[in-house]
């Protein structure tokens, strides 16, 4: 029952947390990013064009999606080519899901009221041509502004990863600021996620984005939901960083690697090998080796 006393629609499929837990346990804890920025297109010998985008993104999806728990396309690198780029993104999403990977669309949406609901309808409603398993979202209009997305995700068995502790140098200005209660903004976001994930098993549907290159943190990262950890590899994050930051909640960590893996392409065998190295490293980390 919701707080208003009305019943939530029945979910025909397991919730996002359960599906991600199964994928991480079965395929290993890795999210492979697909970030077709101009430098990578050039490194693959492709032009910075829709044709180059299509070859790069679909090639990456076909090579990576059968081997990882989740794939994370960065929407902006598709959007810059307009409607034709979005058409490529739709094909990437379809390719990844057909290969059995969950799709986390990195869009970092955040707005209020009907606009927030429209974003939810676009990405989290199965009837949408752009429907994915989860999206990234920003809470800096107030966590309550995300309610339409949270409720739509809950209704359809989808997920969200909410920005909490990101690695960019400008982040502390907002994320480390104190609220009127004395909590940091990041801590307040994590508290909200923990409350919404309460009593969900094996894992809640709402996750947090926590960068692999943040400094030491005293925030409680045990939110009973997945922790999407970007910044692995080319951006400087290491397995030692992940061990240092996440400690007892390492089982919740979904490391995300983009350039470190994509830089091995376009050779399919080299991409497979890059995925294998990352999987070996993070599987060992989870097992305590």
Which range is most confident: 5-9, 224-228, 229-233? 224-228
- Report the distance separating Cα 37 and Cα 43, nearest Å: 10
Q: Is the pLDDT score of 6 beyond 60?
A: no
Question: According to the model, what pLDDT value does residue 229 have?
Answer: 96
Active-site residue flag, 158: no
Sign of the alpha-carbon dihedral angle for 45, 49, 54, 57:
positive
Question: According to the model, what pLDDT value does residue 3 have?
Answer: 39
Contact 20, 102 (CB under 8 A): yes
pTM of this structure: 0.93
Question: According to the model, what pLDDT value does residue 284 have?
Answer: 86
User: Considering the chain, what is the average pLDDT of its residues?
Assistant: 93
Give residue 167's pLDDT band: very low, low, confident or very high (50, 70, 90). Answer: confident
Question: According to the model, what pLDDT value does residue 234 have?
Answer: 67
Catalytic one of 55, 72, 108, 158: 108
Q: What are the DSSP calls for 224-272, one per residue?
A: SS-EEE--BSTTSB-HHHHHHHHGGGGGGEEEEESHHHHTT-S-HHHHH
**75-129: per-residue pLDDT in tens?**
999 999 999 999 999 999 999 999 999 999 999 999 999 999 999 999 999 999 9
Give residue 239's pLDDT band: very low, low, confident or very high (50, 70, 90). Answer: confident
Give residue 8's pLDDT band: very low, low, confident or very high (50, 70, 90). Answer: very low
Q: Is the pLDDT score of 12 beyond 70?
A: no
Question: According to the model, what pLDDT value does residue 1 have?
Answer: 37
Give residue 269's pLDDT band: very low, low, confident or very high (50, 70, 90). Answer: very high
Range with the lowest mean pLDDT among 6-10, 58-62, 156-160, 271-275? 6-10
- Report the distance separating Cα 183 and Cα 115, nearest Å: 28
Give residue 285's pLDDT band: very low, low, confident or very high (50, 70, 90). Answer: confident
- Report the distance separating Cα 77 and Cα 235, nearest Å: 18
**38-71: per-residue pLDDT in tens?**
999 999 999 999 999 999 999 999 999 999 999 9
Number of neighbouring beta carbons within 10 Å of residue 201: 10
- Report the distance separating Cα 88 and Cα 117, nearest Å: 24
Question: According to the model, what pLDDT value does residue 289 have?
Answer: 59
Number of neighbouring beta carbons within 10 Å of residue 37: 16
């Amino acid at each position: 029952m919701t707080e208003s006393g009305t019943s939530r629609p029945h979910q025909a499929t397991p919730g996002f947390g359960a599906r991600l837990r199964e994928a991480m346990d079965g395929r290993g804890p890795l999210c492979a990013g697909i970030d077709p920025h101009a430098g990578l297109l050039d490194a693959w010998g492709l032009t910075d064009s829709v044709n180059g985008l299509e070859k790069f993104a679909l090639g990456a999806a076909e090579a990576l999606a059968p081997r990882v728990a989740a794939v994370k396309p960065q929407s902006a690198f598709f959007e810059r080519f307009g409607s034709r780029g979005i058409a490529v993104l739709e094909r990437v999403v379809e390719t990844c899901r057909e290969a059995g990977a969950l799709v986390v669309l990195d869009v970092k949406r955040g707005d209020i009221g009907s606009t927030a609901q429209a974003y939810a309808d676009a990405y989290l409603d199965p009837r949408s041509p752009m429907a994915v398993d989860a999206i990234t979202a920003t809470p800096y209009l107030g966590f309550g502004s995300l309610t339409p997305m949270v409720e739509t995700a809950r209704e359809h068995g989808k997920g969200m990863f909410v920005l909490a502790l990101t690695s960019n140098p400008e982040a502390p200005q907002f994320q480390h600021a104190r609220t009127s209660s004395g909590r940091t903004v990041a801590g307040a976001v994590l508290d909200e996620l923990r409350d919404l994930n309460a009593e969900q098993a094996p894992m809640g549907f709402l996750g947090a984005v926590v960068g692999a290159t943040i400094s030491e943190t005293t925030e409680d990262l045990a939110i009973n939901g997945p922790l999407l950890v970007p910044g692995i590899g080319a951006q400087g994050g290491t397995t030692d960083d992940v061990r240092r930051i996440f400690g007892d909640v390492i089982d919740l960590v979904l490391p995300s690697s983009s350039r470190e893996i994509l830089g091995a392409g376009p050779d399919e065998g080299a991409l497979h090998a890059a995925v294998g190295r990352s999987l070996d490293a993070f599987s060992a980390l989870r097992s305590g080796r």
